[in-house]
Amino acid sequence: MTGFPHPALVPLLAAGREDALRPLLVQLVVIMLAARVGAVIARWLRQPSVVGEISAGLLLGPSAFGAVAPELSALVFPRGAAAVGGLEAALTAFSQVGLILLLFLIGIEFDFSHIRRQGRLAAVVSVAGIVAPFSLGIGLAWLMAPRLGALGAATAIDIRSFALFMGTAMSITAIPILGRILIEMGLQHSPLGALVIAAAACDDAVGWTLLAAVSAIATGNFDPWTILGMALAAAALAAVLVLVLRPLLLPWLERCLGDAGTEDHDRATGLPLGVLSVLLSLLLLSALITSRIGIFAIFGAFLLGASLSGSPRVRTAVAAQFSDFVTVFFLPIFFTFTGLRTNVGSLASVEAVAWAVAVFAVAVIGKWGGCGLAARLGGLPPGEAACVGVLMNTRALMELIVVNVGMDLGVIPPAVYCMLVLMAIGTTLMATPAAVRFLAGTQYAGRLSERGFLRS
């Protein structure tokens, strides 16, 4: 986000240049419609809507649309020098702003009470869900390292950064998608659901910390003083947000919601526009600070959201005013942006396909195996323990955010990027049907039958 607006956007935003605006409008129409169609198909297949939206974004890229209709694809989504009036830069900027808003929402909806309530078993499952995939990911990265040139790395990649990133990418669980799956299955308030959410919350907190550390290491070129400075600056920002801003801002937002409820009945569940503009300004400022620190704007957005997560009223109001538009407009743009960077053709060789299978296998064994084994040793019956493992294996949106950070950092080549994107989709697609299968003979079978997942 540094240097925004990008110089290439100036012609697009200049008055009288609607010839440059029209192609962007065409892109947005195509993206929105494709995402909605994908969401409908996913729900028909009993998958979360976001799976269809992610798939639609990937299909708009060179792997499908670009391969089937290359001329039409180049017309709708021109790349590089063919992009008109900063068109590519505009789509990139939209996707980055969307991520900032999304990470703020994820942070503010982060329920830390799950971590406190579940105690020892959640901690054991969470530790296994980090240690096992992180270790296996690092091991796989060291095996892949000598072959990165053959996998499309245009320049030399620092092996330590690559290994740490691969370990981090394997450790992520997509808690927003996991929450949707549990709600659709009717398990969000069950002991099993609470355990999974608590363990996933711990995993994601550790995972984002690891990603911030990897970002600092990669951008600091392993200069310990630079890395230490970045870490201290990020810690200082987190301390200011939690210890200074939160005690001032959260009660004020609560009072504003109360005023809105008595003076403006039409906006009883939302923040007044003036208050909303202040909150947005703080959000963008937090994102700008972490971007200047060097660990990406999305971390600042997440930190601000997490610092405000203690109030259910504020959480509900902010989600009501942000969530729908972010979901319908910004998220499909991000998925398409990811799709445009993903080319299955980069896996054309037998070796690349073999590495892709290895990436998927390591991801599943590390997360599903590690968490499932920990849950079983913690006393859960076999079916429920296996269900915990497969649900914790859900990557989806969070993994896509992580791999895009890795791509921007330059620590993974295009072929590995493609492997991780496909892994994110595959682990998400398998979550619901596998969970239903494992719970078929358990105490939760009746609830699944009521929701139409099991036949009586």
Domain end, chosen from 75, 97, 119, is at 97
Same domain, 70 and 177: no
Q: For residue 425, tell me if it sits in a domain.
A: yes
Same domain, 181 and 55: no
For residues 209, 390, 367, 169, the Cα torsion angle rounded to the nearest 10 degrees is -50
Residue ranges of E strands in 129-193: none
Q: Quick one: pLDDT at residue 213?
A: 80
CB 88 within 8 A of CB 78: yes
What is the per-residue pLDDT across 81-120, written as a single tens digit (0 to 9) for each? 555 556 777 888 888 888 889 888 878 876 666 556 656 8
Domain end, chosen from 97, 119, 145, is at 97
Please give the tally of structural domains in the chain.
2
The residues, ordered by sequence, that sit 6+ positions from 189 with a Cβ below 8 Å of its Cβ are none
Q: Quick one: pLDDT at residue 456?
A: 59
CB 415 within 8 A of CB 344: no
Same domain, 125 and 68: no
What is the per-residue pLDDT across 273-306, written as a single tens digit (0 to 9) for each? 899 999 999 999 999 998 888 777 888 888 898 8
Q: For residue 288, tell me if it sits in a domain.
A: yes
Dist. CA 90–CA 72, nearest whole Å: 20
Domain end, chosen from 97, 124, 139, is at 97
Same domain, 137 and 92: no
Same domain, 303 and 430: yes
Q: For residue 456, tell me if it sits in a domain.
A: no
Same domain, 203 and 155: yes
Q: For residue 2, tell me if it sits in a domain.
A: no
Q: Quick one: pLDDT at residue 167?
A: 94
- CATH number of the structural domain spanning residue 424: 1.20.1530.20
Q: For residue 455, tell me if it sits in a domain.
A: no
Q: Quick one: pLDDT at residue 267?
A: 43
Same domain, 71 and 149: no
Q: Provide the residue-wise pLDDT of the chain in tens; the chain has 456 residues.
A: 444 455 555 555 444 457 777 888 999 999 999 999 998 998 888 777 878 888 898 899 888 888 888 889 888 888 665 555 567 778 888 888 888 898 888 788 766 665 566 568 888 999 999 999 999 999 999 999 988 888 877 777 888 889 999 999 999 888 777 877 887 788 877 888 878 888 887 787 778 778 878 887 777 665 677 777 877 888 898 899 989 999 999 999 988 887 544 444 344 467 888 999 999 999 999 999 988 887 778 888 888 988 888 788 888 888 888 888 888 898 888 888 888 888 888 888 899 999 999 999 999 999 999 999 999 998 899 999 999 999 999 988 788 888 988 888 888 888 999 999 999 999 988 998 999 999 988 888 888 888 878 775
| Domain enclosing residue 170, as ranges | 104-450
Q: Is the whole-model pTM more than 0.85? A: no
For residues 342, 345, 350, 355, the Cα torsion angle rounded to the nearest 10 degrees is 0
Same domain, 118 and 76: no
Same domain, 156 and 174: yes
Same domain, 81 and 213: no
Q: For residue 1, tell me if it sits in a domain.
A: no
Q: For residue 445, tell me if it sits in a domain.
A: yes
Q: Quick one: pLDDT at residue 262?
A: 42
Q: Quick one: pLDDT at residue 70?
A: 87
Q: For residue 267, tell me if it sits in a domain.
A: yes
Same domain, 78 and 148: no
Residue ranges of E strands in 295-412: none
Same domain, 79 and 115: no
Q: Quick one: pLDDT at residue 266?
A: 42
Q: Is the dihedral of CA 286, 290, 291, 296 positive or negative?
A: negative
